Amino acid sequence: MTSKTKRAILILIFSEFLVCLGIGLVIPVMPFLKNELHFSAIDMGIMTSLFALAQFIASPLVGQLSDKLGRKSILITGLFLYMFSELLFAWTNSLTLFNVSRIIGGLAAAMSIPTTMALAADITTEKQRAKVIGWISAAFSGALILGPGLGGLLASFHYKSPFWFAGALGFLSAVAVIVFLPNENELTKNYEATSSGSKNKQPQQKKNIGLFTQTVVMLFVLILISSFGLQGFESIYSIYVNEVFNFSISNIALVLTLNGIISLILQVIFFERLVNWLQENLLIRYCFFFSILGTVWIVLAHSKIEVVVATLIIFSSFDLLRPAITTLLTKINPHNQGLINGINMSLTSIGNIIGPIISGGLLDLNYHYPYIVVIIFLTLSLLLAFTLKSNSFKCTQKKP
């Protein structure tokens, strides 16, 4: 890995960390925003779903654009849109403008998150990829270490303060990418030069093979169905524990901070080793199993300690599941990483659109209904995960 490639990866990790820190800042504040402005759970669910709807529509289109026009310009635009969405959310008290802000934020996410993953895949070898994707995913966990606690501190001055701060972080991320991220043409040239000098020389003409094989289609179906369960759990978590177990904003911040520490350790130190040991398909199965176990425990819990332990199990499983699926996706084809990651984001967004609305509506009826539905979706995802075989993905990359 060349020095320019290492610098590019560091900048991608840094920008991802700042954006996710902004997301972490506002998570503990959402239930109190709901109470302060007298919104219903379904209002909050729709607000979250609009974010996902924009992602769903924009992700494949943006992915194809980044394949044709380049990653850096798309990434910079996405970061500035993220900044604007957070500042708008901080400025307004109108439900309509909150929803507009979430739409802009969803477009920003479609332009930044899959583009970051696509660029990382472009400039790394398959052997390096699990480590790099683990590092980028760990940026999210690292942000959760600081984000909720810092968000709680800022909210003590005013509940809108975290949103202003998140907007500033979006601006810093964009500036960091503009100034410090090397030109992507240089990065890909360095990568091709390194690859051409290896023992297993790659042919000049690479075919776009295996993009829609039976195994790949099954993986996309798994992403679609699992997203209902994952987002159904996450979207109402802070509201659920606040209303059912009387978690305060500091309690929620503490849980998310503990999870951030654990997930950071898992992703930075253990993720690559787990992938090499278990392979992605088996790791995905274990993650679904433990997420189901933890969700059942939360439904049956009677104390805050039980909820905290179960939450740590669930979120740790989620934090390993996402990079495992992403790593597996990057092995489909050496080309079209923007399109592949865009499809991933788009399919995830379908579940993100419907999941929060269903969970919000069910929460208004009964506190436990949302997580019962989550258990059903996660169980179906686990069953589908047994159809995945790592060898099928490896075969798509063999050259004739």
The beta strands (E) that lie in the chain are given as none
pLDDT of residue 382 exceeding 70, the answer is: yes
Helix H or strand E encompassing 8: helix 3-26
Enter the tokens of residue 170. 């979006």
Q: Of 54-58, 85-89, 288-292, 311-315, which range is least confident?
A: 54-58
pLDDT of residue 86 exceeding 70, the answer is: yes
Question: What pLDDT does residue 313 have?
Answer: 93
Query: In 50-74, which positions are buried (b, 16+ CB within 10 angstroms) versus exposed (e)?
Result: bbbbbbbbbbbebbebbbeebbbbb
* Per-residue confidence band for 368, with pLDDT thresholds at 50, 70 and 90: confident
Q: Of 49-53, 133-137, 297-301, which range is least confident?
A: 49-53
The percentage of residues in the chain with a pLDDT greater than 70, rounded to a whole number, is 83
pTM of this prediction exceeds 0.85: no
* Per-residue confidence band for 202, with pLDDT thresholds at 50, 70 and 90: very low
Quick check: is 65 in a domain? yes
* Per-residue confidence band for 208, with pLDDT thresholds at 50, 70 and 90: very low
The whole-angstrom separation of Cα 319 and Cα 109 is: 18
Quick check: is 202 in a domain? no
Quick check: is 305 in a domain? yes
The 3-state DSSP composition of the chain as helix, strand, coil percent (nearest 5) reads 85, 0, 15
Instruction: Domain count for the chain, please give it.
Output: 1
Q: For residues 356 and 41, is the Cβ–Cβ distance under 8 A?
A: no
Q: Which residue has the higher pLDDT, 350 or 89?
A: 89
* Per-residue confidence band for 203, with pLDDT thresholds at 50, 70 and 90: very low
pLDDT, the chain, mean: 79
Question: What pLDDT does residue 150 have?
Answer: 78
What residue has token string 């003409």? Answer: 205
Average the pLDDT over 226-240 and give the result: 79
Q: For residues 318 and 291, is the Cβ–Cβ distance under 8 A?
A: yes
Contact partners, residue 82, CB within 8 Å, separation at least 6: 19, 22, 105, 108, 109, 112, 170, 173
pLDDT of residue 354 exceeding 80, the answer is: no
Q: What is the CATH number of the domain that holds 94?
A: 1.20.1250.20
Q: Of 62-76, 97-111, 135-149, which range is least confident?
A: 135-149
Nearest C-alpha neighbor of 134 from the set 275, 230, 3: 275
Question: What pLDDT does residue 201 have?
Answer: 41
Of 161-170, 301-310, 356-365, give the range with the top mean pLDDT.
Answer: 301-310
Contact partners, residue 8, CB within 8 Å, separation at least 6: 119, 123, 181, 182, 187
pLDDT of residue 396 exceeding 70, the answer is: no
Question: What pLDDT does residue 331 have?
Answer: 73
The whole-angstrom separation of Cα 178 and Cα 170 is: 13
pLDDT of residue 329 exceeding 60, the answer is: yes
* Per-residue confidence band for 322, with pLDDT thresholds at 50, 70 and 90: confident
Helix 237-244 with 304-330: angle, nearest 10 deg: 170
pLDDT of residue 383 exceeding 50, the answer is: yes
The whole-angstrom separation of Cα 90 and Cα 166 is: 9
Quick check: is 400 in a domain? no
**3-44: pLDDT as tens digits:** 778 888 888 888 878 777 776 676 667 777 777 888 887 887
Quick check: is 201 in a domain? no
Enter the tokens of residue 61. 């289109």
Enter the tokens of residue 252. 């929620």
Average the pLDDT over 345-354 and give the result: 72
Amino acid in position 227: S
Enter the tokens of residue 153. 């501190």
Question: What pLDDT does residue 141 have?
Answer: 67
DSSP state of 303: S
Quick check: is 172 in a domain? yes
Quick check: is 203 in a domain? no
Enter the tokens of residue 150. 């810092």
Q: Which residue has the higher pLDDT, 52 or 194?
A: 52
What range does the domain containing 269 cover? 3-195+208-395
pLDDT of residue 146 exceeding 90, the answer is: no
Average the pLDDT over 241-268 and give the result: 82
Quick check: is 200 in a domain? no
Question: What pLDDT does residue 307 have?
Answer: 92
**182-199: pLDDT as tens digits:** 776 666 655 555 555 544
The whole-angstrom separation of Cα 355 and Cα 242 is: 19
CB burial of residue 135 (10 Å; 0-12, 13-18, 19+)? buried
Q: What is the DSSP string of 178-223?
A: HHHSPPHHHHHHHHHHHHHTSSSPPPSS----STT-HHHHHHHHHH
